Amino acid sequence: MHYRLITALLLIGAACLTAAPAQATRIKDLATIEGVRENQLMGYGLVIGLSGTGDDITKSVFTKQAIINMTKRMGVALTADVYKQMKTKNIAAVMVTAQLPPFARPGSAIDIQVSSLGDASSLSGGTLLMTPLKGPDGSTYAVAQGPLAVGGISFGGKAAKAQKNFATSGRVSGGAIVERAVDYALPPAGDVVYQLRETDFTTAARMVEAINRRFGAGTAQPVDSGTVKVARPKQFPGDMVTFIADLEGIEVAPDGPAKIVVNERTGTIVMGQDVRIATVAVSHGNLNLVITESTQVSQPNPLAQGTTTQTPATTIKAVEDTGNLVVLPMGVNLGDIARALNAIGATPRDLIAIFQAIKAAGALQGELVIL
């Protein structure tokens, strides 16, 4: 144990002597142009062709009403008695969602996601009927239709059921046709405003520096920690699309706050390389309580007068693992700390408790996020 502890501390010391170089990232991966974004679409439709795995229309009232409306639009006029006797289970009511990409023009195909709304057990083998997809303003921007690709199966009877993944949701690749475009056009000249995906003053300053180094001083100006304004240079020969294509290929080394994220439910730890600690001593031991319940039988002697009785007995055993006091030097990152503590037998849940204690002691220079 002492040999493993010494080896772990030597690894920490060696890690202190080296620093990982900052990795450069393209501007197109760090920021987006203001106004150039996807728009969410949604619609209500019917999936047909199911093999008895659709909605029970005697319980799902909205599914039955949708069937009635569909048959009327198709010119099939049925009496009220027929609608009451309807018991088909080959149809399911679904919600259809899609993302309308920027600059999508009428006639473009986009993918759609189809999810069951009623009590259907599976959408496998179904076909989505023509479904208008509307935006938040209530206007129809696309129309969806096509056979579903479901990545799961669900079969069973009254006493057993076999299921893999989820069979009540599926996709249709290119299943919607754009009918209306969102009005947005790049300015032929003037400023282009970039919005950083992760706001940070250092990243914004580095982005401005890299752009001005490429196109000349004054081309880019920082607005705040999440916004950079870029003006097209007059001497640039190409159009705005060519300028943006050249601009978004510039590489910038992003920065961000030191942060460590832990999930106590799953024992997951995710940490950044910039998290540091002050000099601190850590000792962590586990206390295990083992409680055993048993029953003892007491019988009288053969010639004695008495009755057999049962007496409960409880045994409590406390076992505490030996704690190791580890001195962690100043400046190392939590990745090296985690490897050192793992070398002495600390589990991920132990590491979460240790990191919380280090933060409470004021020795953790970084943000601790607990999910």
Taking only the tens place, the pLDDT of each residue in 110-156 is 999 999 998 888 888 899 999 999 999 999 999 999 999 887 666 55
CB 104 within 8 A of CB 110: yes
* Res 323 pLDDT > 60: no
Band of pLDDT at residue 84, cut at 50, 70 and 90: confident
* Res 3 pLDDT > 50: no
| DSSP element (H, E) containing 81 | helix 80-85
As a whole number of angstroms, the distance between CA 85 and CA 52 comes to 17
Please compute the mean of the pLDDT values over residues 174-197 and round it to a whole number: 85
Band of pLDDT at residue 334, cut at 50, 70 and 90: low
Band of pLDDT at residue 283, cut at 50, 70 and 90: low
Cα 357 to chain centroid, rounded: 28
Confidence (pLDDT) at 127: 93
Confidence (pLDDT) at 222: 92
Confidence (pLDDT) at 243: 86
C-alpha separations of 350 from 336, 338, 357, 369 in Å: 16, 10, 11, 16
Confidence (pLDDT) at 11: 45
Confidence (pLDDT) at 94: 94
Confidence (pLDDT) at 314: 55
When mean pLDDT is compared across 182-196, 262-276, 328-342, the lowest value belongs to 328-342
Confidence (pLDDT) at 159: 54
Average pLDDT, whole number, for the chain?
78
* Res 287 pLDDT > 50: no
When mean pLDDT is compared across 110-124, 222-236, 262-276, the lowest value belongs to 262-276
Residues 6+ apart with CB under 8 A from 352: 262, 264, 267, 269
CB 306 within 8 A of CB 312: no
* Res 268 pLDDT > 60: yes
As a whole number of angstroms, the distance between CA 311 and CA 166 comes to 52
Q: Which of the two residues, 150 and 184, has the higher pLDDT score?
A: 150
Confidence (pLDDT) at 13: 44
When mean pLDDT is compared across 241-250, 345-354, 359-368, the lowest value belongs to 345-354
Which structure tokens are listed for 89?
A: 């289970």
Band of pLDDT at residue 252, cut at 50, 70 and 90: very high
Confidence (pLDDT) at 147: 94
pTM: 0.68
251 SS3 class: strand
Strand order in the sheet with 367-370: 268-271, 259-263, 367-370
Please compute the mean of the pLDDT values over residues 92-116 and round it to a whole number: 93
Band of pLDDT at residue 74, cut at 50, 70 and 90: confident
Confidence (pLDDT) at 328: 59
Residues 6+ apart with CB under 8 A from 71: 78
Band of pLDDT at residue 63, cut at 50, 70 and 90: confident
Please compute the mean of the pLDDT values over residues 209-228 and round it to a whole number: 91
* Res 37 pLDDT > 90: no
Band of pLDDT at residue 325, cut at 50, 70 and 90: low
Confidence (pLDDT) at 250: 92
- Counting Cα atoms < 13 Å in the Cβ hemisphere of 117 gives 21
Q: Which of the two residues, 163 and 205, has the higher pLDDT score?
A: 205
In the numeric block, the tokens 């048959």 are attached to 71
Highest mean pLDDT among 78-82, 168-172, 314-318, 346-350: 168-172
* Res 349 pLDDT > 80: no
Confidence (pLDDT) at 304: 64
